[in-house]
Structure 1
Amino acid sequence: MQRACKLGSDASAPAKMTRRRLGAMLLAVAVTTAVTAHPVQAQSAPPAYTDFDWVDPARARPVPTRLHWPADVAPGSRVPLIVFSHGLGGSRRGYSYLGRYWSAHGVASLHVQHAGSDSSLWAGNPLGVVDRLQRAAHESEALARALDMHFALDRMLSSPYGARIDRRRIVAAGHSYGANTALVAVGARVMRDGRWVEARDPRFTAAIVISAPPFYGETDLASVLGKITVPNLHVTATNDVIQIPGYHSPTTDRLAVFNAIATPRKLLTVFEGGSHSIFTDRAFTGGPALNPKVKAATAELTLAFLDLAYDGNRDALTRWNAAWQPILALAPDAAPPQISAPPSPRMAKRAAAGLVPAP
């Protein structure tokens, strides 16, 4: 009989799970070094952020975070919260264009830094960076990232900010390695030695998945992702290719992850061109003209998705489709009653050419 190994169900569970091959499944291999942010739009006085240097006593593990909080929150009102997980080699300082945009539009975001796979990877002897990257992708760190999300959310909800957060609208989000972390937080799981290895946190009621890598070593993605039921948004680009020694992942892997999620409450957007790092704070990757457009479009899309997921309101998504169609290879469709994504003519042509899987 299969047994479920769930987050918080067994005090020894983290130690047991770190001995499994979870890391190979969850590896995301984006290089997201800290650079100057490219803002979505000019702001004379960007909303302030607050840094927290938390430590999880149960694991003796630091969990630094950066909170982007809306500047004007009406008395008695509550705000949605997005908990964001960075890519390999990133930090809480990254993806600042998203944090600024969200807070400027009334949505709080907590950017979690994962101590075992953060920007510290770039310190030390350059000749050892490949070994450090491989260690960062190990099963122990893959699991620890999901536990970081759980711990950070615990701390945020128990803080003075907690009373101002709408607990019905808490979102797991991430890019690359962080996208896999977000998927684990909303229900991705694997079977190991007759046990389900999982770290689902039911407080997350939606997911934003940017450039999700494949689940390496897993041949049955439907089994890995089939239990995800929350609304989820997936964002990628036709040139969203991951390359690192020992690992290669084309854009088709992002589409395979999307397709393996059974719930119809999902959206997929594919930008034309771009790169894997275009969704980070890097200002020129993917092309100096396209880069700021993709950032602006991605930021806007996330909030249009939340309108649809939580309120059933597709007006913002309809406007988004019209505004950003020139840079899209595949546009999301918001036709009720499902959140789905039929292929656009441009994507159909790419499928015919073998650039993406046929629908």
Structure 2
Amino acid sequence: MPGTPLPDSTMVISAKPVVLSAPGRGEDLQLRVSAPATGGDLPVVVFSHGFGWSMNGYAPLADFWAAQGFLVLQPTHLDSRTLGLPADDPRTPRIWRFRIEDLKRVLDGLDVLEASVPGLAGRVDRDRVAVAGHSWGAQTASTLLGARVLDSDGVPGEDMSDPRVKAGVLLAMAGLGDDLTPFAVEHLPFMRPSFDTMTTPALIVAGDRDDSALSTRGPDWFTDPYTHSPGHKSLLTLFGAEHSLGGIPGYEVAETTDESPARVALLQHLTTAYLRGALHPGDTSWKAAVIALEEDPDPLGKIESK
């Protein structure tokens, strides 16, 4: 049955780079594709990395999700350090838009991706699609859920939501643009989201020690996507977590300031349970996970829902 928990020892196959043609982008789109070695009806998770990362990052989440029965697709965005675009590249001001287009291109290219990876053909469930992302990647993913970017006059920009996407997981996502520092206002004008139309169900994850240099507020800034969005949303607040949420970009990577394998393990299991519940009506994994966290005598976080 799709969504049924698999053994932790499930073999994962991973292929990279899988390439999608991307006219007008200046670079073809490269992805890492990961899936369990066996099984069918695989739900799809398209993951958008944080600033500077690539398809090579976030193995703690991508490999875990794949081992639990998901097809995980990780595009490398133009801001990746692996591509080395100079700051004066003419594409730089629009990288935030290219990122969104990358995710849509991945969904448009599922036929190509399925045919490009040996053993994947006929195993993908195209009716169960989620997007996920960390930091800038979370903002990128949120637009497919219905979030929009405000212009300088506060008018919402283009609706870039995608009806193929049924759920999202937004990790350490920036909050409202009213609280940006002067540097962020000047250099990151796209960081002015509106969550008023972000109606697709989503799990928002925030660390209660995530103090951003881009915001004049404290860690509660990262709860804005939950507070200001309508519809079915859940908020997971991780205790003691900073921006890497314990180390989700990778184990022992330099930018992780709050290394915590236990926190990462909790996030692995809770995000998997959420995705199962959101993509498979009737699945009780998420409800069971919430109850288990509430009954934990020494919890690493808390969950609220609306």
Residue in structure 1 matched with residue 109 of structure 2 by the alignment: 155
CA 66–201 in structure 1, closer or farther in 2 if over 3 Å, else same:
same
Q: Percent identity?
A: 25
Contact in 2 for aligned 1:175/1:212 (Cα 8 Å): yes
Aligned pairs for 1:226-265 within 5 A: 226-243=196-213, 250-263=218-231, 265=232
Is 1:53 the equivalent of 2:19?
A: yes
Is 1:266 the equivalent of 2:236?
A: no
Aligned pairs for 1:1-359 within 5 A: 47-51=12-16, 52-73=18-39, 77-115=40-78, 117-120=79-82, 132=87, 139-159=93-113, 160=115, 161=120, 163-192=122-151, 196-216=157-177, 224-243=194-213, 250-263=218-231, 265-277=232-244, 278=246, 279-283=248-252, 285-288=256-259, 291-310=260-279, 311-319=281-289, 321-322=291-292, 325=296, 326-332=298-304, 339-340=305-306
In the alignment, structure 1 segments of 5+ residues that lack a partner are 1-40, 125-130, 333-338, 341-359
Residue 46 of structure 2 aligns with an amino acid whose one-letter code is V
- Match of 1:196, SS state, is coil
Q: CA deviation at 1:250?
A: 3.1
- Match of 1:275, SS state, is coil
Residue 65 of structure 2 aligns with an amino acid whose one-letter code is W
Structure with higher helix content: 1
Larger Rg: 1
- Match of 1:119, SS state, is coil
Give the distance between the partners of 1:248 and 1:280, measured in 2 at CA.
25
Residue 173 of structure 2 aligns with an amino acid whose one-letter code is A
Residue in structure 2 matched with residue 12 of structure 1 by the alignment: none
User: What TM-score, normalized by structure 1, do the two folds share?
Assistant: 0.67
Residue in structure 2 matched with residue 351 of structure 1 by the alignment: none
User: What TM-score, normalized by structure 2, do the two folds share?
Assistant: 0.78
Q: Which has the higher contact order (CA 8 A, sep 6+)?
A: 1
Count of residues in Structure 1 that have an aligned counterpart in Structure 2: 275
Give the distance between the partners of 1:118 and 1:197, measured in 2 at CA.
25
Residue in structure 1 matched with residue 4 of structure 2 by the alignment: none
In the alignment, structure 2 segments of 5+ residues that lack a partner are 1-6, 181-190
Give the distance between the partners of 1:195 and 1:227, measured in 2 at CA.
10
Contact in 1 for aligned 2:45/2:131 (Cα 8 Å): yes
What is the alpha-carbon root mean square deviation over aligned residues?
3.3
Give the distance between the partners of 2:220 and 2:102, measured in 1 at CA.
29
Q: CA deviation at 1:183?
A: 0.3
- What CA deviation, in whole Å up to 9, does each residue of 1:103-144 have, x standing for no partner? 1111110011102x11248x69xxxxxx94x98996511111
- Match of 2:158, SS state, is strand
- What CA deviation, in whole Å up to 9, does each residue of 1:172-219 have, x standing for no partner? 100000000010122111354877323222211111100001243589
Q: CA deviation at 1:248?
A: 5.9
CA 319–185 in structure 1, closer or farther in 2 if over 3 Å, else same:
closer
